[in-house]
C-alpha cells in the first residue's frame, strides 16, 4: 500500500473518533471545538483527494466561520447541554434512513478514478479546452469558481453573511434584554 492510503486511513480514523466524541461530549464549548477539528480533518482529506478548492472552502467555512458562529451562540446560551427525557429512537431512525438513502444514491456512481467516468469524458475536456476562451482566466479552478459557478459562490457568501448577521442580532438582543431587566429591577426597587 502506498503512503497516501495510510494518510487517508489515519485521517478517516481521526474523523471517526472526532465524530463519536461530538456525540458523547456534553460540554458545548468542547463540541464547538471538536466540530472545528472535524471540519479541518475533512479539509485535509479533500487536499489528499486533490480537491484543493473544496478544501479551502471547508477550512474557511467549516473550521473558521462555523466555529466562530457556534462560539457566538455559546456566548448567549449555557455551556452545558440539557439532558433530554425524550427517547432518542426516532432521531436515530431518521439518521439511519437518511444514511441508507445516501449510500443507496452512491451505487450508481462510477468507480473512484475511473478514466471513462462522464466527468472525465465530457465535462473536464470542455473546461480544459474552452475555459480561457469563455472566461479569459488562465486558471481553470478560478474560472470554475468565479465564472461557471459564480452564482453558487455568491449564494455561499450570502449564507455566511446571513448567519453572521443572525448571530449579531442574537447577541444584540441579549444585551437589550439584559438592559431591560436591569431597568425593571431598578424601577421595582424605587
Neighbours of 138 (CB within 10 A): 9
The 3-state secondary structure of 66-121, one letter per residue = HHHHHHHHHHHCCCECCCCCCCCHHHHHHHHHHHHHHHHHCCCCCCCCCCCCHHHH
Are 69 and 164 in contact, with CB atoms under 8 Å apart? yes
Higher pLDDT, 180 or 135: 135
Look up the pTM and report it. 0.57
Closest Cα to residue 148, out of 164, 166, 172, 132?
Answer: 132
pLDDT one-digit tens code per residue, 8-37:
899 999 999 999 999 898 888 899 999 999
Distance CA 46, CA 39 (A): 10
CA distance 1 to 43: 23
With H, G, I as helix, E, B as strand and everything else as coil, classify residue 149.
coil
All domains of the chain, ordered by start, with CATH? 1-83 (1.20.120.1200)
Please write the tens of the pLDDT for every residue from 127-145. Answer: 888 888 888 888 887 787 7
Amino acid at each position: 500500500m502506498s503512503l497516501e492510503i495510510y494518510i487517508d486511513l489515519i485521517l478517516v480514523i481521526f474523523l471517526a473518533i472526532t465524530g463519536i466524541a461530538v456525540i458523547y461530549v456534553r460540554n458545548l464549548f468542547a463540541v464547538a471545538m471538536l466540530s472545528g477539528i472535524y471540519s479541518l480533518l475533512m479539509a485535509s482529506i479533500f487536499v489528499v483527494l486533490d480537491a484543493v478548492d473544496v478544501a479551502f472552502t471547508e477550512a474557511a467555512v467549516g473550521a473558521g466561520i462555523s466555529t466562530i458562529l457556534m462560539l457566538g451562540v455559546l456566548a448567549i446560551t449555557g455551556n452545558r447541554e440539557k439532558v433530554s427525557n425524550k427517547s432518542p429512537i426516532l432521531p436515530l431512525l431518521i439518521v439511519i434512513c437518511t444514511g441508507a438513502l445516501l449510500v443507496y444514491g452512491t451505487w450508481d456512481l462510477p468507480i473512484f478514478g475511473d478514466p471513462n467516468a462522464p466527468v472525465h469524458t465530457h465535462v473536464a475536456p470542455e473546461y480544459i479546452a474552452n475555459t480561457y476562451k469563455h472566461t479569459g482566466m488562465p486558471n481553470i479552478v478560478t474560472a470554475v469558481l468565479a465564472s461557471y459557478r459564480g452564482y453558487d459562490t455568491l449564494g455561499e457568501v450570502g449564507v455566511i453573511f446571513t448567519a453572521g448577521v443572525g448571530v449579531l442580532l442574537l447577541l444584540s438582543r441579549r444585551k437589550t434584554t439584559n438592559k431591560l431587566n436591569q431597568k425593571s429591577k431598578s424601577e421595582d426597587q424605587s
